[in-house]
Amino acid sequence: MAYSMAIRVCKTAYLNGTIEVQGSKNTVLPIIASTILTDGISVIHNCPDITDVHVMCELLKILNIKIFYDNHVLVINTSNIAYAPLPYELTCRLRSSVLLLGAMLGRWGRAEVGRPGGCTIGTRPIDIHLEGFCRMNADINLNDSLLCCQSFQLKGCDYKLRYPSVGATENLLLAACGAKGTTTLRGVAKEPEIIELCNYLSAIGVVIEGIGTDVLNINSPNYLKNADYINVYDRIVAGTYMLIASAIPSDIILTGIDDVHYIKNIIKVCARLGLNVAGANNTLRIRSFGDVIPGDFSTGTYPEFPTDLMPVLIAILLNAGGNSSVTETVFENRFSVVDELKKMNGRLCVKDDTVHIKRTERLSGNVVLATDLRQGAAMVAAGLMATGCTTVMDVSYIERGYENIVRDLSNVGAKISYI
Ligand code: EPZ
């Protein structure tokens, strides 16, 4: 991870080379949280070197968990784990801190956890998480900065989520590991991150039926063992580079794509945009002439196109040979990319939940802000396409999830550097 203030990115004519895709942020964070349910040493391989992972580890240390991180290997020793409240000052630095509620409830039947933070992309309520905990027999107490949950005995229940929330599914899975009897969760999220978490929980001894479907049945023994985990590649990071390669003449190899199935939805959209994608032996070769095909796109829950790639998709559609639109269906306020792209002369506007994008021949470099993780990546993508150079400020947002976007894009010949 490179701690820096800004990224300078200049128009780049051709991208060629290899990018090793980092491990997945949104997969590894719930798995780190779930080690709270175990006693002993767990080793997580291919763990990305990003701020969100390091803050999560700081939170675990408050529970007297020993952490060792080196070269993408995270060792977590829960042998002397002890209950403690988790302060808002740290929990507010990432969204996934909310998962510590479920993990602590599952382990101790109680949790006092500061409210979560994360990217400002909508109101991001947690009513589904809390309703599910209540259905498992937990009492909830909330104030402005602290979430408190307590249960004399968590009990299995039959609960239907009103929306397939990724975070709520993960949190309820973790709490269900401490519940007596069977927990049935209906209408759950089916994202690859959920499948990986279910597989990990199965490895530590939880019995889960229905993995990959929208109904999960969970039964947990009293004692859970340790298990090591090899993290999957980050499908959103891979997708970011695929979208960029659609808009700039490219011949790139992405390595580390150990399960191509998880990225099929993204490949489908990139193919529509004109990207040629060929996969073999955990790699993807992505090639294009940089002629983006315009179209109308929509985000959705898995296996639809992920909302996390929406800002990058919008940026690269400015290069398309006609008018396009992108409709966002997951978050109600994820359009900060529009104002920043306008500063680069981008011709686009928001109407309701849809961004309308016109081909922008005069996209030009400027000083712009990263306002959240994926929007920041979109501004880097725009900088590669725009005439002149662009300075993207507030890089700390990007470093929450991209290990080193400058290193990755430099490796394929992009004119990009930290300043
Ligand atoms: C996860 O966020 C990801 N974050 C997000 O990625 C991703 O955009 C999102 O899932 C959707 O795929 C992590 O995994 C850490 P949700 P999460 O709960 O769990 C509403 C990134 O850039 N909702 O599925 O917070 C909510 O308001 C991040 O890496 C409720 O109404 O997403 C939203 O509209 C950003 N009540 C929708 O559901 C609830 O209790 C989806 O949210 C929970 C959610």
Provide the pLDDT for residue 217: 98
Is ligand 1 within 6 A of the CB of residue 331? yes
Is ligand 1 within 6 A of the CB of residue 307? yes
246 neighbors 316 (Cβ within 8 angstroms): yes
How far apart are the CA of 199 and the centre of ligand 1, in A?
21
For the CA of 165, the closest atom of ligand 1 is 24
How far apart are the CA of 126 and the centre of ligand 1, in A?
9
CB atoms within 10 A of CB 182: 16
Is ligand 1 within 6 A of the CB of residue 125? yes
Provide the pLDDT for residue 123: 76
Q: Which of 119, 157, 177, 198 is catalytic?
A: 119
Provide the pLDDT for residue 70: 97
Q: State which fold the 6-22+233-418 domain adopts.
A: UDP-n-acetylglucosamine1-carboxyvinyl-transferase; Chain (3.65.10)
Is ligand 1 within 6 A of the CB of residue 312? no
Provide the pLDDT for residue 74: 98
The residue with tokens 């999830």 is: 401
Provide the pLDDT for residue 1: 62
For the CA of 128, the closest atom of ligand 1 is 40
For the CA of 163, the closest atom of ligand 1 is 38
How far apart are the CA of 12 and the centre of ligand 1, in A?
33
Provide the pLDDT for residue 333: 82
Residues of the chain with pLDDT under 50: none
For the CA of 302, the closest atom of ligand 1 is 12
Radius of gyration in angstroms for the set of CA atoms belonging to the chain, rounded to a whole number: 21
119 catalytic per annotation? yes
Is ligand 1 within 6 A of the CB of residue 108? no
Nearest CA to ligand 1 atom 10: 166
Is ligand 1 within 6 A of the CB of residue 26? yes
Provide the pLDDT for residue 172: 98
CATH number of 25-230: 3.65.10.10
Tens-place pLDDT, residues 344-364: 999 999 999 999 999 999 999
Question: In the chain, what are the domain boundaries?
Answer: 6-22+233-418, 25-230
- What does pTM read for this prediction? 0.97
